[in-house]
Amino acid sequence: MFIKTVISRGEVADKTIRIKGGPMLKGRRKPKSILINPKFQISFLTQHLLLAAVSSLIMFATVQYQFNKFDLAGKEMKLSEGHFYFQLLNQQHQDFNTMFVYMGIINFLILVFAGFRLSHRVAGPLHRLKVHSERVIQGETTTELRFRKGDYFQDVAEAYNKQLHFRKPRSKASGE
């Protein structure tokens, strides 16, 4: 949490102070990094994109195979190289290849965005659970764990909070 020091005339000083564990005052926190758990998220995105690349290459190879079959069919019919059939086939082949490149770029961008979003919905709650657990162990908080709306593992937060409430009465009774 960052708060800027204010000088009496309303000017903001150059000094910014960090308040550890304080409540968020305005808006959202600024992330330190685009990745919450780099090892998991990079692995996830790599696998995500690799699967997409393999499926795209299979589709591309299948279409190329079909164009070759059409080409062979024209040659078996003994059509001349300049025949309209071959001109149309070559134009369609070039158009397909161009569209495939553009669609590949668009798909890549969509998959990267969706992969980041999905990986954040998994890595974010796990990171929050880790940080919250460490803060409870250090005695810095006794509040319930909350995940963002739309995050996965909401049931884990509920189970964690139940065990936290279960331990509170026992801790007070034993004098811990």
What tens digit of pLDDT does each residue of 70-123 get?
999 999 999 999 999 999 999 999 999 999 999 999 999 999 999 999 999 999
pLDDT at 86: 96
Q: Give the range of the structural domain holding residue 128, as residue numbers without chain letter.
A: 43-174
Report if residue 13 sits inside a domain: no
Report if residue 124 sits inside a domain: yes
Report if residue 167 sits inside a domain: yes
pLDDT digits (tens, 9 = 90+) for 11-56: 444 444 344 444 443 445 565 678 889 999 999 999 999 999 999 9
Report if residue 95 sits inside a domain: yes
pLDDT at 31: 58
**Where do runs of H (alpha helix) occur along the chain?**
38-76, 84-137, 154-174
Tokens read off for 113: 């965005």
Report if residue 154 sits inside a domain: yes
Q: How many angstroms separate the CA atoms of 174 and 115, rounded?
A: 47
pTM for the structure as a whole: 0.64
Report if residue 94 sits inside a domain: yes
Q: How many angstroms separate the CA atoms of 8 and 28, rounded?
A: 27
Report if residue 38 sits inside a domain: no
Q: How many independent structural domains does the chain possess?
A: 1
pLDDT classification of 174: cutoffs 50, 70, 90: low
Report if residue 27 sits inside a domain: no
pLDDT digits (tens, 9 = 90+) for 120-169: 999 999 999 999 999 988 988 888 899 999 899 999 999 988 988 887 65
Q: How many angstroms separate the CA atoms of 115 and 49, rounded?
A: 9
